[in-house]
Structure 1
Amino acid sequence: MTGIPLAVAIMTDETGWHTSRLKRALRERGALGRCVDLADCRFDTTHAPHGLAIPGYGRGLPDAVIVRGIAGGTFEQVTVRLGILHALRELGVPVYNDARAIERSVDKSMTTFLLHRAGIPTPPTWVSESAPFAQRVLMRECAKGHDIVMKPLFGSQGKGIARVGASSEGCEPLPALKAYGQLAYLQRFVRPVSEPGYDWRVMVIGGKAVTAMRRISEHWVHNVAQGGRCEAAALSEPLATLAERASAALGLDYAGVDLIPCDDNSFGATVIEVNGVAAWRGLQSVTPFDIAGCIVDDLLNRRMALGRSTGNIKEVA
């Protein structure tokens, strides 16, 4: 393959700052990045022997894939889009992050289960289709002096979350489950240790925590998309260890791990989210660390080398 640049498909439903950074990092390392929307890919057993059609690659396949975004859609549409990623992995194409890891991180209930199973500090959580059960949890937590955070099972950037707790008239009612897909995902609210409150976003790439920031907000939601302010943060050993363990528990190649300070464990923090299709524009604005370059280096030097060592990588013509 001398003289032929590696062809890397960047799977995304929208192009912009992140994809430009990834394409530049690939180009600087002699590889060629092309943006592809999973919605435009298809299973097609008449198109090529391998049974896939990936726009821009003719009857062939990319040498590797970076997953930057998956568009929402019907259950059937999302299933097939993830199926394309599963199929690419089956065909020996390194997928970064692969479909199984993304499924684990997108589903908050599975994320919580895997974190809990791995012994990683995360707030007490309840997930149920039963509104009466969810209301009982809420009342019990209120009686103990705890507020509850209700989140959409699939969601990001702090959208759609609600905080429910005690009021002057007693416990507030549980929001209607219809707006949450008839499912209650309830998590005990972690009270801030300072004013204003903050959390951390730690970027983990190739199993190693590489950079971090604090997100500070007068509001209890700290996401940048909800008005949180980014500030550079030292990456302490406990914080790095906790983020790395969280990423490993979900099997992610790269992850944005959100942690909030607390005083009930030796880490001084608890994991509240693990993002498998993590954005890093806010983090990049407060760190000189080249995040896109690190992602590409990890893909080319570790992930693709791992495929070659196991024989699970496609041959390049």
Structure 2
Amino acid sequence: MRRIAIITDDPGWHGKQLCLAFAERGYAAEYVSLTACKLQLTVVDLPIVIPGFAEVLPAAVFVRGVPGGSLEEVVFYLDVLHALKLLGVPVYNDASAIERSVDKGMTSFLLQYAGLPTALTWVLRDRDEALAIAEQELRQGRYLISKPLFGSQGEGIRRIEKSTDLLWLTSSRGIYYLQRFVECTGEGYSDVRVFVINGQAVAGMRRRGISWLNNVARGASCECIELEADLAGLAIAAVTALKMDYAGVDVIQDAEGGYRIIEVNSVPAWKGLQSVCDINIAECLVADLLDRYCGQDQVC
């Protein structure tokens, strides 16, 4: 049986869903941690050593997570994914897509470069300048969001609302990422997650937060929505700009009714979305990977 490597350190519900979807297509899927992989650049051996794939490399790799660590460790993990792709192994999403999206500064730059609407953003090294920007925004009656350059599920994010909050303005290993807070339309706090696969918006949900942070992992509720053309097109354009196979695109509708892209996630969770939509998202992801990269004319 052909075998797939699912890159993850925490398989959980998502890993199980992927394994079931791969099995339906006649593939066995095995969980692999990048921390256990290594490069072995000898003459007779496989150049990449992957636990469970000692004799032959996987037919394809589905990336569900890249571990954190030192700069050297993270670069090495991405090196493994880059090398797999160079050896002809389909990597979904590939290392370049992950690099573009895991770095919020580069994500914001690429979205702005593509002419897509997003929140005003500053990424800089100097703390005094970061404080000056924050103070100016506060004087003009605006809030700021301070985010770690790398991170997910709302970890390390703070909203700067008053001058005393500046005491909490922290850098992400020396880099400040500041974003103007976007007030959403309607009552309370909400945004939209659009799931895009191979250039198609396949499902969407509205997340309603118990605070201004609308992450499902932080208690936000989910409700299915019909994806209007403008919203779907914006999410697709964001994923295209970052050159991803699939992604979860977070969009907020501002007080004036316009859409702004908040984040593009190349390793998105979909448990909350799956709970409110009719399609099987794992099956859609697996079908896209296998049909595009492991079809009859491919090597899988």
Identify the TM-score tier after normalising by the shorter chain: over 0.9
Unaligned runs of 5+ in 1: none
Deviation at 1:59, TM superposition (A): 2.8
Unaligned runs of 5+ in 2: none
Deviation at 1:173, TM superposition (A): 2.1
Q: What is the distance in 1 between the residues matched to 2:21 and 2:187?
A: 39
Percentage of matched positions with identical amino acids: 47
Tell me the alpha carbon deviations over residues 167-226 of structure 1, each in whole angstroms, 9 at most, x when there is no partner: xxx574252435x32221000000121222200011111111100111102310010111
* Aligned 1:245-264 pairs, distance under 5 A: 245-264=237-256
Q: What is the distance in 1 between the residues matched to 2:210 and 2:288?
A: 36
Q: Which amino acid aligns with 1:290?
A: N
Mapped contact 1:9–1:62 kept (Cα < 8 A): yes
TM-score by length of 2: 0.95
Residue of 135, 138, 147 corresponding to 1:139: 135
Matched, 1:297 2:293: no
**Residue equivalent to 1:110:** 106
Residue of 40, 44, 48 corresponding to 2:36: 40
**Residue equivalent to 2:145:** 149
Q: What is the distance in 2 between the residues matched to 1:282 and 1:56?
A: 31
Q: Which amino acid aligns with 1:269?
A: Y
* Aligned 1:1-317 pairs, distance under 5 A: 5-46=1-42, 48-166=44-162, 172-173=165-166, 175-177=168-170, 180-264=172-256, 268-305=258-295, 308=297, 315=299
Q: Report the more deviating stretch, 50-59 or 105-114.
A: 50-59
> How well do the aligned residues superpose, as a CA RMSD in angstroms?
1.8
Q: What is the distance in 1 between the residues matched to 2:78 and 2:179?
A: 27
Structure 1 residues 48 and 54: alpha-carbon distance in aligned structure 2, compared to 1, 3 A threshold: farther
TM-score by length of 1: 0.90
Deviation at 1:47, TM superposition (A): 7.9
Aligned length: 300
Tell me the alpha carbon deviations over residues 114-147 of structure 1, each in whole angstroms, 9 at most, x when there is no partner: 0000011100000011111111111221222211
Name the SS of the counterpart of 2:166 in structure 1. Answer: coil
Runs of 4+ in structure 1 deviating by more than 3 angstroms, as ranges, are 46-50, 303-306
Deviation at 1:6, TM superposition (A): 2.7
Deviation at 1:227, TM superposition (A): 1.2
